[in-house]
Structure 1
Amino acid sequence: MIENAPQQEKQVFKTTPILISFLIAGFVGLFSETALNMALGDLIGIFDISPSSVQWLTTGYLLTLGILVPVSGFIMQWFTTRQLFIASLLFSIVGTFIAAVAPSFTVLLLSRVVQAIGTGLLLPLMFNTILLIFPVHKRGATMGLMGLVIMFAPAIGPTISGLVLEKLTWHWIFWICLPFLFIALLFGIKFVENVTTVTKPKIDILSIILSTIGFGGIVYGFSSAGEKGWGSTIVILTIVVGLVSLVLFSLRQFKMEVPMINLRVLKFPMFTLGLLSVFITFMVIMSSMILLPLYLQTGLALAAFTAGLVLLPGGVLNGLMSPLTGRLFDKYGPRGLVTPGFVIMIIMLWMLSNITMDTSIFMVVVMHSVLFVGISMVMMPAQTNGLNQLPRKLYPDGTALMNTLQQVSGAIGTAVAITIMSTSQTAYLKNATDIMDPETLSASLTAGVQDAFIFGLILAIVGLIMSLFIKKA
């Protein structure tokens, strides 16, 4: 993307209405990412499918994002801000409507893909627009406000869907989203302005194909591992093909004058450290988001709504922390937030790896809440600091790469956590005397969840080591 023309540089935007339009749309899109997690147990019985199959409602969503988001930096140079905002909302509305009336698992999975196209267009556009309309000294607070939405929406998804499932069918999880999507669309049509310059660079078909096979192959391979096992030919093949495609894609980007994603952003050390910090943190978020509902509902035998309420304080606290960490970032920089954030995550993940069937609900609320305080201290500060180091012309590439790897890490985190949990559960049941006893099944799942949290603990330790090298961009 070229530098904006001088007259656009001087243009004064109505930043607040633009920000509100994106926040409403982003909230509903990200709420949809986890709202279905509480219904997964019900859907296994309703559609007569396995747990490994039902996880595709989450990983299929992430797979679509992983394929679409890399192309977003390129798309933003072909279409105006308004065109992309309206298109993203229309995809979200159509996908949500299909989900609300879905008669089968296949149709529901298709609707998730359509929903994800909407979110995949919206997220990079939102980040890029914020970077263009807000000056550097206000970005921490603004990104903190975005963090409130980005963290709060997926965090309260299980609680609201738990309440819905208590009184209504799973279809209503989607029906309640539709009015908000229409409000966001109307708000955006009125207030969203064109903030980018449309340059229409040459379309490089080979880059798009390599990117799709690369990111898609890796997400598909990891997601299939839970169902087919890590030794499966299809799992190994798709991951290897994905990695080879990504290597070829990367080499091609460096050789092109106008690359699809300008990977030269990785030459900026604070951006690369921020990218890796976000990658690790999002793996922890998405693995926790799928493990805790399963533990609460199957291990502790809580109702969907009760389990949702247990996870609510963490989501609320995380949302409230994001604007605060944004303001602290503007004042003190990233180091004083990111390193302590990882320390808090390590302590809480270690405690979560020791949960049992006798762990009190109060302790689960405390551990989950404090874990998300640590996450909020890492996520937005690391992301903002990384993007701040980039020159203006590389904003679309930086946001595209950061959002792509965020979704890929979410899919990998979910898949690896479920695989570790399933493998440990199977190993536990091999030594059990009565595998049909409900208490034995609960104990086996709890043992699996413990081992899966150790995976998160190792990730957080790696993040802590990296955070020692972060400095203000």
Structure 2
Amino acid sequence: MATPAVERPAVVGTTVEAPRANGRATTPPAPPAPPSPAPRTTAPPPAPAAPTPAPQQGWGLPMIVLITGMFMSVLDVSIVNVAIPTMQRDFGSTTEEIQWVATAYSLALGVVVPVSAWCGDRFGSTRVYNISLIGFAAGSALCGLAWNLNSMIVFRVIQAIPGGVLPVVTLTILYRIVPKEKIGAAMGMYGLGIIVAPAVGPTLGGYLVEYVDWRLIFFINVPVGIVGFFAALIILPRFPGAYQGRFDVLGFLTIGTGLFTLLLALTEGQDWGWTSYKVLILLTVAVLSFALFIVIELEVDRPLLDVRVFRFWPFTNSLLLISVLSVGLFTVLFYIPLYLQQSQGLGAFEAGLLLLPQALVMAVCMPVAGRVYDRFGPRWPAVIGLTIVAWGTYELHVLTLETSHGHLIWLLCLRAFGMGIAMMPIMTGGIAAVPPSMVSRASAFNNVVQRTSAALGLAVLTAMVSRTQAQLGADRAGMMSSGTDMPVLGSGQAGEFAGMYATYQQLQAQIFVEAMDGLYIVTAVITTVGVGLALLLRSGPAPKAKGPAVHVEV
């Protein structure tokens, strides 16, 4: 007697159509179903893992919960920089020592970000998000209680571990709860944390440091983290973890070593000397570690970070463009406050207020850019946005000691508009090009590239500014003869000394502004190169998903 054919769900590539009712597949009315294949005597394949929850229609509220936690962790990167001088005074440390408050955080982030994708897949994205959120709040509380420099550095490392995990698992959850045709709008909301948080940091941090207490920049995270934790427990869908095989220890050690040594060399290169033995050894170790990491990840069955995502050119191209935008964003966020405080004599809060309008412009542009992406795709928002950023950055090269604040705000808002409409289409188009099963790996690479490129670009450009300042200082000193008249501020020798000091301060401020102007020309050129890469992005909306699907490996 013939064995009856077994009805199976249709398989397309590696995607299996989800059952529609009571676990039984429903035959579509047209076209007619193909004849059943001949019976096979082999055993049926093992049952797939529990299906991932399908994208939701009501994803807005879960997105708000996700963005709140991620916004808090990204904000902490820039808000602490404003408090560094006050911490230095309270702890009685040197400039080189206090910089480790920021350096330790960046180094810890570089090590923990690669392992965050594996943790989300192994233990469940929602569970890892909740643990990271409450862990970040606890680490922030410890930083606020720090009693000396050493304790602050240790607590910053503790804070950075969950802080590096949050953006990665947030992006992974986002792609699981949002329908594919709405992903652009969702990424526009996600961008509020990635781009707007660093821009808001100087304003909020400047106010707290100048009028309240620098410890509040850490304590403010505690209630936000607790509220976000309970909101996530109630609102976010559950994404169960799955067995991921043995942890890729060798991959973790190599990528962790590479990122740690690279970031350390970039951070300390200016102080140690770019050609010093310590920096050269660190860079050599970084290059060898990255090369060994690639070899290991191509050989192991379950890599920590799947470098095969770079086979998808749209994703690789998006990382290059994200690097361009990250360099431009963090360079301006670093040097404009210095310009306002050192060259124009503003306080920390006043300088932060002048940076606030650009943050508001980006906050408005991000959701709009997401909807533009849904309709037109990533190419033209990216091309137009990068062109505006390049133009606005080039216009910054005419800044002087007497530049009006109104003109500066206009240029910053122009750049913010271009960055706001370009960043999310670029990031969304890149991640949308990889298979859904690789989104967590792609998002981890995304965060690694953002942080590393910003540090690399800022370090290289800072070295260029320092070299230009030294050259300009030597040129100006050679132009001044011993008989040059100096202003006299007061009577006697003290008045002559005060006049010489005022002249020196004015000269140094002018040299700094001229060196900074050259930096903006270089940044504008880099951004212009990005316009050419943006022309290679996809044009047109992403194809709509035909329905929820269960992704399994075959």
TM range (shorter): over 0.9
Aligned residue among 323, 338, 349 for 2:367: 323
Cα separation, partners in 2 of 1:155 and 1:196, compared to 1, 3 Å:
farther
Higher helix share: 1
1:168 maps to which residue? 212
Give the whole-Å Cα distance in 1 for the aligned partners of 2:158 and 2:334.
22
Shift of 1:63: 2.3
The answer as to 2:298 corresponding to 1:231 is: no
Deviation at 1:52, TM superposition (A): 5.5
Of 385, 389, 394, which residue of structure 2 is paired with 1:345?
389
Partner of 1:122: 166
Q: Does 1:442 align with 2:500?
A: no
Answer yes or no: is the 8 Å Cα contact 2:77–2:198 preserved in 1: yes
Structure 1: stretches of 5+ with no match in the other structure: none
Report the counterpart of residue 297 of structure 2 in structure 1: 253
Deviations 1:11-45 (A, max 9, x none): 85863343222111111111111112223344455
The CA deviation string for residues 413-467 of structure 1, in whole angstroms up to 9 with x for no partner, is: 3323333333333334444466773323322332332233334223212212211
CA distance in structure 1 between the aligned counterparts of 2:468 and 2:197, rounded to whole angstroms: 31
Residue 255 of structure 2 contacts residue 293 of structure 2 at CA under 8 Å; is this kept in 1? yes
Give the secondary-structure state (helix, strand or coil) at the position aligned to 1:414.
Answer: helix
Are 1:38 and 1:293, in contact at CA under 8 Å, matched by a contact in 2? no
Change (3 A) 1:53 1:462: farther
Q: Are the structure 2 counterparts of residues 375 and 19 from structure 1 closer, same or farther at C-alpha, using a change threshold of 3 Å?
A: same
Report the count of equivalent residues: 472
Residue equivalent to 1:138? 182
User: How far apart in 2 are the matches of 1:426 and 1:45?
Assistant: 28
Partner Cα distance (1:459, 1:48) in 2: 40
Letter in 2 for 1:174: F
* Residue of 61, 81, 96 corresponding to 2:105: 61
Give 1:394's aligned residue. Answer: 438
The 1:104/1:428 distance shift into structure 2, 3 A limit, reads: farther
Distance 1:117 1:164, change over 3 A: same
1:192 CA drift (Å): 2.5
Aligned to 1:466: 533
Quick one: which of 358, 361, 368 aligns to 2:402?
A: 358
Q: For 1:18-33, list aligned pairs within 5 A.
A: 18-33=62-77
Alignment partner, residue 519 of structure 2: 452
Q: Tell me, yes or no, if the aligned pair for 1:148 and 1:320 is still in contact at 8 Å.
A: no
Counterpart AA for 1:328: V
Displacement of 1:300: 1.1
Q: How does 1:279-318 map to 2 (within 5 A)?
A: 279-318=323-362
In structure 2, the residue matched to 1:273 is: 317
Structure 1-normalised TM-score?
Answer: 0.93
Deviation for aligned residue 1:254: 1.5
Partner of 2:116: 72
- Can you list the C-alpha shifts for 1:63-86, whole angstroms capped at 9, x where unaligned? 222211112222222212232112
TM-score with structure 2 setting the length? 0.80
Q: Deviations over 1:118-171 (max 9, x none)?
A: 221111100011111112100000000111232222211111111112212322
Deviates more, 1:365-374 or 1:98-107: 98-107
Contact 1:62/1:408 (<8 A) preserved: no
1:148 corresponds in structure 2 to: 192
Matched ranges for 1:187-206 at <5 A: 187-206=231-250
* More divergent stretch after superposition (441-450 vs 357-366): 441-450
Cα distance change of structure 1 residues 136 and 150 upon mapping to structure 2, 3 Å threshold: same
The two structures, once aligned, show a CA RMSD in angstroms of: 2.3
Do the aligned residues in 2 keep the contact of 1:91 with 1:118 (CA within 8 Å)? yes
Residue of structure 2 aligned with 1:15, choices 59, 72, 84: 59
Farther-moved stretch of structure 1 (145-154 vs 39-48): 39-48
3-state SS of 2:398 partner: coil
Q: 1:446 is matched by which residue type in structure 2?
A: V
1:108 offset after TM fit, Å?
2.6
- Contact 1:65-1:120 at 8 Å conserved across structures: yes
1:93 aligned onto 2:137: yes
Counterpart residue number, 1:377: 421
Match of 1:335 in 2: 379
CA positional deviation for 1:49: 5.1
> How far off its partner does 1:47 sit?
4.5
- Counterparts of 1:399 and 1:407, CA distance in 2: 13
2:434 is the counterpart of 1:367? no
Q: CA deviation at 1:320?
A: 0.9
Q: Which amino acid aligns with 1:188?
A: A
Check the 8 A contact 2:125/2:241 in 1, yes or no. no
Asked if the contact 2:373/2:425 (under 8 Å) is kept, the reply is: yes
Q: Cα distance 1:216–1:389, how it changes in 2: closer, same or farther (>3 A)?
A: same
8 Å contact kept, 1:278–1:383: yes
- 1:40 match: 84
Q: Output the CA distance in 1 between the equivalents of 2:507 and 2:514.
A: 10
Alpha-carbon distance, 1:230 to partner: 0.9
**Contact 1:63 1:408 (8 Å CA) reproduced:** no
**Deviation readout 1:191-233 (Å, 9 max, x if unpaired):** 2332254223211211111011111111111111121121111
The CA distance in 2 between the partners of 1:212 and 1:57, in whole Å, is 20
Moved more, 281-290 or 100-109: 100-109
- Does structure 2 conserve the Cα–Cα contact (< 8 Å) formed by 1:271 and 1:390? yes
Q: Contact 2:114/2:448 (CA < 8 Å) preserved in 1?
A: yes
Contact 2:378 2:426 in 1 (8 A): yes
Q: Is the Cα contact below 8 Å between 2:55 and 2:178 reproduced in 1?
A: no
Task: String of CA shifts for 1:72-124, please: whole Å, max 9, x gaps.
Answer: 22222221223211221232112211221223333333333222212211111
Give the whole-Å Cα distance in 2 for the aligned partners of 1:150 and 1:423.
31
Larger Rg: 2
Partner of 1:179: 223
- Alpha carbons 1:228, 1:235 under 8 Å: kept: yes
Q: Indicate which of 235, 256, 264 corresponds to 1:212.
A: 256
Q: CA deviation at 1:50?
A: 5.6
Of structures 1 and 2, the one scoring higher in RCO (CA 8 A, sep 6+) is 1
Identical aligned residues as a percent: 26
379-388 or 458-467: which moved more? 458-467
Which moved further from structure 2: 171-180 or 154-163? Answer: 171-180
CA distance in 2, matches of 1:423, 1:291: 16
Moved more, 227-236 or 16-25: 16-25
Cα distance, 1:238 vs structure 2 = 0.8
